[in-house]
């Protein structure tokens, strides 16, 4: 494969940058459409960025935007570490042009296991940004798509308990229909997003994006997608990523908003 650098437009939820990228980086940024995106590529060398455009300023600037990042090295699941998270920021108005997350597997040959236990003090459902939304199949309820992360008003698994204690609880959709029974919490291998693995009513296994869960109590209650979508302008209908107001394309999956 050629390693020749080519000048390309790389889109984010709040603008774009013009940068010279390798063929490998182009492949990462190509999500199946005509555009290339910053989020899957991660952090670029500032010397490779020639210009940046900010949707908030509605103006193109010479040179790279600010790039702020941190390296939490946080283990979010067995054999999966959040190595870096960061964002590209407009130098003029400090608006976010794009965000990214980089995950690593300490053991490249191993599989990604169950998600780590929830912090007992956390009262909202954790969100891991995704590039695509896993499909949720159900026999007695409509397909549940990832929406924005709702507040968990009932208790998460209690103190000294892990997310694995959710096993065996009934999963109920917003229409009071039983979708299935919770099996475990894990990480989707393709999107690296947190999901709830369930045993559906027909005995087969499926998964539900964690962000589609409204409450966890005696049962697992799913949220209502249309309500969450109305409350979150800029939310992508395909993957659930909340983009900056005014964005025309989703930073994560490239879908037109």
Structural domains of the chain, with CATH = 6-104 (no CATH), 114-257 (2.30.30.240)
How far is residue 179 from each of residues 37, 135, 142, 195, 198, measured CA to CA in Å?
A: 35, 14, 9, 15, 9
Task: List pLDDT tens digits, range 138-156.
Answer: 334 333 333 333 333 333 3
The pLDDT assigned to 207 comes to: 86
Dist. CA 207–CA 122, nearest whole Å: 23
If one counts every other C-beta atom within 10 angstroms of the C-beta of residue 231, the result is 11
Give, in degrees to the nearest 5, the angle at Cα 43 between 42 and 45. Answer: 140
Give the lowest-confidence range in 65-74, 117-126, 143-152, 241-250. 143-152
Query: Is the pLDDT score of 245 beyond 80?
Result: no
DSSP helix/strand/coil, 130: coil
The pLDDT assigned to 229 comes to: 41
Contacts of 245 (CB under 8 A, 6+ apart): 233, 234
The pLDDT assigned to 203 comes to: 81
Which has the higher per-residue pLDDT, 171 or 125?
171
How far is residue 162 from each of residues 54, 157, 167, 208, measured CA to CA in Å?
A: 42, 6, 10, 18
How far is residue 84 from each of residues 25, 58, 76, measured CA to CA in Å?
A: 17, 29, 12
Beta strands in 66-193 (DSSP E): 66-70, 74-77, 80-89, 96-104, 170-172, 178-187
- The pTM assigned to this predicted structure is 0.49
Task: List pLDDT tens digits, range 42-88.
Answer: 999 999 999 999 999 999 999 999 999 999 998 877 778 888 999 99
The pLDDT assigned to 133 comes to: 37
Dist. CA 117–CA 125, nearest whole Å: 12
How far is residue 136 from each of residues 200, 204, 220, measured CA to CA in Å?
A: 10, 12, 15
The pLDDT assigned to 162 comes to: 38
Provide the sign of the torsion angle of the four alpha carbons 161, 167, 169, 171, taken in this order: positive
Task: Tell me the pLDDT band of 212, cut-offs 50, 70 and 90.
Answer: confident
The pLDDT assigned to 188 comes to: 72
Burial class from Cβ neighbours inside 10 Å (0-12, 13-18, 19+) for residue 84 reads middle
β-pairing, 59-62 vs 74-77, is unpaired
DSSP helix/strand/coil, 215: strand
Give the lowest-confidence range in 5-19, 77-91, 157-171, 195-209. 157-171
β-pairing, 49-54 vs 59-62, is antiparallel
CA nearest neighbour of 142 among 241, 231, 225: 225
């Amino acid at each position: 494969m050629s390693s020749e650098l080519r000048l390309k437009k790389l889109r984010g939820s709040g603008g774009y940058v013009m940068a010279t990228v390798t063929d490998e980086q182009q492949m990462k940024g190509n999500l199946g459409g005509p555009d290339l995106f910053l989020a899957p590529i991660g952090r670029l060398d500032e010397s490779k960025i020639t210009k940046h455009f900010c949707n908030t300023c509605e103006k193109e600037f010479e040179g790279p935007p600010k790039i702020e990042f941190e390296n939490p090295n946080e283990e979010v699941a067995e054999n999966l570490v959040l190595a870096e998270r960061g964002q590209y920021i407009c130098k003029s108005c400090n608006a976010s042009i794009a965000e990214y997350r980089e995950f690593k597997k300490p053991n490249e040959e191993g599989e990604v296991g169950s998600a780590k236990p929830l912090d007992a003090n956390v009262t909202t459902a954790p969100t891991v940004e995704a590039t695509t939304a896993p499909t949720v199949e159900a026999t007695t309820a409509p397909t549940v798509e990832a929406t924005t992360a709702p507040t968990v008003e009932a208790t998460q698994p209690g103190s000294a308990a892990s997310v694995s204690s959710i096993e065996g609880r009934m999963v109920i959709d917003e229409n009071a229909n039983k979708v299935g029974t919770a099996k475990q919490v894990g990480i989707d291998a393709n999107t690296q997003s947190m999901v709830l693995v369930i045993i559906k009513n027909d005995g087969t296994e499926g998964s539900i994006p964690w962000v589609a869960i409204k409450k966890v109590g005696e049962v697992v209650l799913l949220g209502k997608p249309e309500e969450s979508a109305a409350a979150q302008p800029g939310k992508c209908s395909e993957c659930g990523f909340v983009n900056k107001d005014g964005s025309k394309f989703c930073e994560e999956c490239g879908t037109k908003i």
